[in-house]
Amino acid sequence: MTAKEKNQDVVPWTGLNLACVRILQLYCKVFDHLDLYQTQRKNCTTCKCTRDSHEVVVEHGAKTRLGLLGSIADSLEPRTLGFAFVPPGLTSARQIEQFYSTLPSYDVPRLGTKGEVSRSMRLVRQLPRQDLSLSACKFIEPENKDSYQDFITARNEIALDVGIGRAAPLASTCAGCSKSIPTQQACVAAPRQGNLLYHPACFRCTKCDDLLVDLAYCVKDNQIFCERHYAETLKPRCASCDELIFSGEYTKAMNKDWHGQHFCCWQCDESLTGQRYVLRDDHPYCVACYESVFANACEKCGRTIGIDSKSLLLLNMTDVFNDQFHSKLNLKTKTVGADRIKKAKDTNEDVAILSMELPGENKPFNCNLGDDCLLGDPKKLPLGTKKMEYKTRQWHEKCFCCVVCKTPIGTQSFIPREQEIYCAKCYEEKYATRCVKCNKVITSGGVTYKNEPWHRECFTCTNCNTSLAGARFTSRDDKPYCADCFGELFAKRCTACSKPITGIGGTKFISFEDRHWHNDCFFCASCRTSLVGRGFITDGDDIICPDCAKQKLM
């Protein structure tokens, strides 16, 4: 038996109908099952990536996709000039170079560059195969095939076309940016818009603002669109399989449209149409999967706490407004039942409550952000989304954010102050005590010097940087110095030993005629007797006691 025959005997993987293009293509090539190369869903259950993240657009694939448009025949072969695409209407290499010189390098489809890759991705994104041919669709019901064909025919006759590259015959105005197009400058003409011209960089979809790939466009209300977004102005598109929906019945959820059978749990892929579901990271989950993957366990009994329970944030505010602010707040998060929530409210506990909006509740809601609500409507709380309650105010979970950095709080530490909500970091930045030297927050300990706060490690000698916290020091010009540095830099020096005369708290020393001595250094130069408290006589630079002075005179 040949290797090929062995491969043909392999039983196809049952998950192929849910695989994305990359996984499916690899499987079909390895096991020689090219007949299975078809997709059922836009997202695979393994990596959850979208079809346009994986589809490989090779040379023949791109030409086939554009061939469905019946585009104008090119007078130049793009690849002989080093490009994956050359605008129709341009007849010389000079015109082509001038045309592409107006685009950034990453948008120029030069072979072997990022521009070629960008073009391939735009082909997949802007010209989905399922919009161009019935053979590429898998979910058009037999009774809706005529409607699909009518849509294709009408679009091709009145809207779809390919732009033409040309040199502007006269000075014109760009229909995209309203700026001038000089005579003979490369531009794009859109035949379905009459005499309108565009800069090459301005020939973009009105909806997504993406550069129109290979100059393919559709016109509606005298505006240009990529084919994808033109189609979506007329028909809903399933967020799962990416096909247009021609049936009268479909599901609307999460601000998207879905085939009824395609609105499925992100985990188990079971249909959610007509079922309760929960949003997590913008993905829908059935109740069973959400509870098995994300639910918490009860601290008391250890059993899973379902979605009908609520999260309770216990916040001890005494740690927030202490005289010395600490960044580690005493914030605890617990998942509890309705009874515990009621008790917290009845006893006026300082708590924030995070809960989920479920079918059947229909409680009044008004996001505290008002017109600044991040979801657009402060009174709307979609099913499956969470809300935060604190004191008498409510927020969408995403709207419960720091007033400074706008980061959602979630279940992290927060500090309420004067009706505003702060994350711990921003509260520290705005209100916490800061070291006068490094300007950073003092979170523990600290030293006060001349009524100003310092980190212990920042309160150092101005000269040698030795820590002065807990040590004896003195100051000069309002700057702190350790005793050694102060003596070396500023103290009087002993005439006898040349060392600085230093000390804290009133050190005694002897001064005479601009000369100074330590008490221990003030002695007779001849007999070495201490002269502290006694009379003395100068002998040149020396000082001597009266007895030694008499002997020198005899």
- CATH code: domain 447-489 is 2.10.110.10
Query: What architecture (CATH level 2) is domain 310-431?
Result: Ribbon (2.10)
Give yes or no on whether 57-232 and 494-553 have one common fold: yes
**367 CB-contact burial (10 Å; exposed 0-12 / middle 13-18 / buried 19+):** buried
Tell me what pLDDT residue 98 has: 93
CATH fold of 57-232, please? Cysteine Rich Protein (2.10.110)
Tell me what pLDDT residue 38 has: 44
Per-residue pLDDT of the chain (554 residues; tens, 9 = 90+): 444 444 444 445 555 555 555 566 666 666 666 555 444 444 454 455 555 555 444 444 344 565 544 444 455 688 888 898 899 888 888 999 999 999 999 999 999 899 988 998 898 899 998 998 898 898 999 999 999 999 999 998 999 999 999 999 888 999 999 999 999 999 999 999 988 999 999 999 999 999 999 999 999 999 999 999 999 999 999 998 899 999 888 888 888 899 888 888 888 888 888 787 888 777 888 888 887 887 766 555 666 666 655 555 544 333 333 333 333 344 445 555 566 666 766 766 667 777 776 655 667 888 888 888 887 888 887 776 778 887 778 888 888 888 888 888 776 767 777 778 888 778 777 777 788 888 887 766 678 887 788 888 888 888 888 888 777 777 777 788 887 787 777 777 787 787 777 665 456 777 777 787 777 788 887 788 887 777 777 777 778 788 787 777 76
Tell me what pLDDT residue 223 has: 95
First to last CA, the chain: 136
Which among 433, 355, 428 is positioned nearest to 395, based on CA atoms?
355
Tell me what pLDDT residue 536 has: 78
Q: Would you list the DSSP string of 227-246?
A: HHHHHHTTS-BBTTT--B--
CA distances from 375 to 126, 198, 242, 353, 408 (A): 28, 36, 25, 20, 13
Tell me what pLDDT residue 328 has: 37
Domain ranges of the chain: 3-41, 57-232, 310-431, 447-489, 494-553
Tell me what pLDDT residue 341 has: 64
Alpha-carbon span 183 to 118, nearest angstrom: 30
Assigned superfamily of 494-553: Cysteine Rich Protein (2.10.110.10)
Which among 148, 149, 127 is positioned nearest to 205, based on CA atoms?
127
pTM assigned to the model: 0.53
Which among 115, 109, 121, 119 is positioned nearest to 82, based on CA atoms?
109
